[in-house]
Amino acid sequence: MNDNTLNTVENSLRAQIASYCEANHVPGFAAGVHHAGEQVVVAHGVANTGTGAPMLADTRFLLGSVTKVLTTTLVLRQVDLGLLALDAPVVRYLPEFALATPGAADKILVRHLIGHTNGIDADLYFPDAAGRDALQAYVAGLAGRDTLFEPGEQLSYSNGGMILAGRLLEVVTGTPFHDLLEREIYAPVGMTDSSTSAKQAILRSTAVGHFLDPETMAAKPTTMFTLPDTWGPAGGTPIGTIADLLAFGRTHLAGGVSPTGERVLSAESTALMQQVCFDMDSPNVPPIGLGWVLYPFGGTTVLAMSGASPGGVSLLCVVPEHDLVFTAFGNTPGAILLQDQLLQWLLREHLGVEIPALVTAVEQEVDLTAYTGVYRSDQLRIDVTIVDGQLEEQVTYEPHDESQERIFTEFAGGATSGPPQRLIPIRPGLFAPAGYPLEAFDGYLRLLLVSYHDVQDGRARFRNGGGRLTRRA
């Protein structure tokens, strides 16, 4: 990337970010691009509307689920060292790991945890424990959770699997997860401004999330900065900067060698993370590697992971074919639309990647009866009915107890259920939310599409929305 091109990228990022944030009430946004040895970081707006603190190029923010790629890298490091085996049962290392159904935990392998194929039904399980025993408490609580499917049978985005992997790391290394993250990822990668707690973050410029007031559209700071310590390995607590995430992405571009020159991961393990380990063959569910989601944009694969935090959203993308890393953070949930816009601009205009339309037409004559019914996962209920010849979904959060309700509602900005959503059939088993132009799904937002899977005796067994499965009740 020459200086002129770098200037072009920077100027376009600034213009697109300013325009979108102004029109969509996003208080602050930061983004960075590394390409062919050159790098640019831009920041816009404010990090906290309560204080007026500006969003700076080095402002910290919660990494959210981008942390899952860091956790996976830690797991593969231990595989490189011979401390873990991907095809070993988790109970070999964690004999106390159990699920509600006797014997179910015994079938889960280490690779199932970081490949989102473990089937553990705990995606919204938020036990409120803190300190060095938090992950141990989380694993103990899994004894009351069950499974959605047999390990390796399906793909479903899994917070529980990553948290269990975090506890696994603690046991085999003898080191608390956050200390291990700092020692084996932050330090060798050169993530000098990253931290693992709010106590550390408060010492530097740090952004907080916001939620929009539905009446005034004013952005109000979140009442919860981080999720409980139990969610650390899935993305609840780690904090970093745009430059630090670019450095981590560059490590995966360089076969596991960080910008500091230190080898973080073997070339074989780095490549393994980027290989397809499961593909549901559905446009709304990209193939998964280990840690990375593998988004196909035409013939180009983007390794990606997004991360929701209370009132904020981050994104990390690595494009090995073009030697590019893109990362961004916005401090309202709606900033993900801007992240998708910038990613597609980089692919199309900067790299010359042709992005074919993911959905080119809708199909009118689709029998909807196979998809109606009630679908459930842990603390989540989805009622699917036919209304005016269309599918209609009602999503409701049903907390187990007051603690779960408090944590979830603060994380979601106060909402426990969404309004009914109409779905337009694209083809049998695949639907688009009504009101969106078809081109909206060409990029990262293909996750908004809804699919139904494994039709038996005229009924679908599973619903997939946002990469997460619910099972017919």
The CATH number given to whatever domain includes residue 91 is 3.40.710.10
Whether residue 375 sits in one domain with residue 302: no
Would residue 356 count as lying in a domain? no
Task: Say if residue 162 is in the same domain as residue 249.
Answer: yes
In a domain, 333, yes or no: no
CATH of the domain at 444: 2.40.128
In a shared domain, residues 305 and 378: no
Rounded to two decimals, what is the model's pTM?
0.96
Residues 373 and 310 in one domain: no
- Among the three residues 290, 315, 340, which one is the final residue of a domain in this structure? 315
pLDDT reported for residue 4: 57
Q: Do 267 and 403 have their domain in common?
A: no
Instruction: Print the domain residue range for 452.
Output: 369-472
Based on the fold, state whether residues 231 and 301 are members of the same structural domain. Answer: yes
Q: Is residue 15, in this structure, part of any structural domain at all? A: no
Q: Are residues 156 and 277 in the same domain?
A: yes
Q: Per-residue pLDDT for the chain (473 aa), expressed as one digit of tens each?
A: 444 588 899 999 999 999 999 999 999 999 999 999 999 999 999 999 999 999 999 999 999 999 999 999 999 999 999 999 999 999 999 999 999 999 999 999 999 999 999 999 999 998 999 999 999 999 999 999 999 999 999 999 999 999 999 999 999 999 999 999 999 999 999 999 999 999 998 889 999 999 999 889 999 999 999 999 999 999 999 999 999 999 999 999 999 999 999 999 999 999 999 999 999 999 999 999 999 999 999 999 999 999 999 999 999 999 999 999 999 999 999 999 999 999 999 999 999 999 999 998 888 889 999 999 999 999 999 999 999 989 999 999 999 888 888 998 899 888 677 789 999 999 999 999 999 999 999 998 999 999 999 999 999 999 999 999 999 99
Which pLDDT belongs to residue 2? Answer: 43
Same domain, 422 and 281: no
**How many domains would you assign to the chain?**
2
3-state secondary structure string, the chain?
CCHHHHHHHHHHHHHHHHHHHHHHCCCEEEEEEEECCEEEEEEEEEEECCCCEECCCCCEEECHHHHHHHHHHHHHHHHHCCCCCCCCEHHHHCCCCCCCCCCCHHHCEHHHHHCCCCCECCCCCCCCCCCCCHHHHHHHHHHHCCECCCCCCCCCCCHHHHHHHHHHHHHHHCCCHHHHHHHHHHHHHCCCCCECCHHHHCCCCECCCEEECCCCCCEEECCCCCCCHHHHHHCCCCEECHHHHHHHHHHHHCCCECCCCCECCCHHHHHHHCCCCECCCECCECCECCCCEEEEECCEEEEEEEEEECCEEEEEEEEHHHCEEEEEEECCCCHHHHHHHHHHHHHHHHCCCCCCCCCCCCCCCCCCHHHCEEEEECCEEEEEEEECCEEEEEEEECCCCHHHHHHHHHHCCCCCECCCEEEEEEECCEEEECCCCHHHHCCHHHHHCEEEEEEECCEEEEEEECCEEEEEC
Domain C-terminal end among 281, 315, 349: 315
On whether both 303 and 436 belong to a single domain, the answer is no
Q: What is the pLDDT of residue 215?
A: 87
Are residues 92 and 192 both part of a single domain?
Answer: yes
The residue from 315, 332, 353 where one domain ends is: 315
260 in a structural domain: yes
193 and 255 part of one domain:
yes
200 and 131 in one domain?
A: yes
